[in-house]
Amino acid sequence: MELTKILIIEDEAAIADLLAYGLQKEGFQTAVAHNGKDGLKEIDEFKPDLLLLDWMLPDQSGLDICKKMMGKYMLPIIMITARSDISDKVIGMELGADDYITKPFDMREVIVRIRTLLRRINPVSAATPEPVPSLIKIKAIEINVIERTVKKDDEPIELTPKEFDLLMTLTSSRGRVFTRSNLLDIVWGYNYFGDTRTVDIHIQRLRKKLDANDLITTVFRVGYKFEKNVD
């Protein structure tokens, strides 16, 4: 599964490292440049899906980079800035920035803004999804979609609403790898400000309740999937 690539152009190493670490935990692939010259080079070589761009860089401003990108790249840009003046933001938007994050920032805000922008730039296909059957049977597990109940070996399994929604998400696309961020968006919603540990905890509970370690598997450094060939 190809990960969404985000380029961070930020001269403060501590901030760049924080962003890279936080984004990697959310399932993104990252690259970092600490000045405008290296950043423009990384745009060509790394080919990011989104750019986090600091306003003030040692060799040129983020606005200069926006100017150089205009007409050459169709790349969503989120500016990172300590400036809060509305006129500055208007100028940035006119030069191609799509959104702003003001320092100091909360990593949760960064993640939500990135997800929102990516969703706006690359909306989910409007094609009609395949109908979900009212009863799903996988080995000894039986899921009643309409009644929202689950049985294992004909014994009822008590799931919380979020555990059930998580199970439905995984089983309705068996074999597909979901990142933790995918699952947060689908099950908890785009405006949820919790972190990905929420997903890990619910996955652990599902595995335990269903005795399904062999069915709900971890994809290292990416996320989770429900195994396809287990019937």
**Residue range 49-98, pLDDT digits in tens:** 999 999 889 999 888 888 888 767 778 889 888 766 666 666 666 667 78
pLDDT above 90: residue 173: no
The fourth-level CATH superfamily of domain 5-121 is Response regulator (3.40.50.2300)
β-pairing, 155-157 vs 141-144, is unpaired
pLDDT above 60: residue 129: no
Q: Where, residue-wise, is CATH 1.10.10.10 in the chain?
A: 135-226
pLDDT above 60: residue 101: yes
Task: Tell me the pTM.
Answer: 0.56
pLDDT above 70: residue 167: yes
Q: Where, residue-wise, is CATH 3.40.50.2300 in the chain?
A: 5-121
pLDDT of residue 54: 92
pLDDT above 50: residue 127: no
pLDDT of residue 71: 64
Higher pLDDT: 171 or 123? It is 171
Q: DSSP alpha helices (H): ranges in 2-98?
A: 13-25, 36-46, 62-69, 86-94
Q: How far apart are CA 157 and CA 150, in angstroms?
A: 5
Q: Considering the domain 135-226, what is its CATH architecture?
A: Orthogonal Bundle (1.10)
Kindly report, residue by residue over 10-27, the tens digit of the pLDDT: 999 999 999 999 898 888
Higher pLDDT: 181 or 143? It is 143
Q: To the nearest whole number, what is the mean pLDDT of the chain?
A: 84
